[in-house]
Amino acid sequence: MHSFNYVITDPVGIHARPAGLLVQEAKKFTSAITLEAKGKKADVKRIFALMSLGIKQNDTIVVKVEGTDEAQAATALQNFLINNL
């Protein structure tokens, strides 16, 4: 399993547009991908689950990736977050 922490820098947090893009990025991989924040977990491949976390600017999230392509998925998602959130 690969995991990493990330602090959200986007002024409005994870809102609809970047959440949709994050889901699209996650769906490129077969690995199970979860995001944890504020004591809650969500499947990153499900937009409503992701949006229900209410992640705001300066919140720290933990992304966990487990599966056959976990290394590639973790790298891609970390790059996505750096470039978009």
Question: Active-site residue among 4, 15, 36, 66?
Answer: 15
Residue 15 annotated as catalytic? yes
Long-range contacts of 65-70 (CB under 8 A, 24+ apart): 65/1, 65/2, 65/3, 65/29, 65/31, 65/32, 65/33, 66/1, 66/2, 66/31, 66/32, 67/29, 67/30, 67/31, 67/32, 68/30, 68/31, 69/29, 69/30, 69/31, 70/1, 70/2, 70/31
Catalytic residues: 15
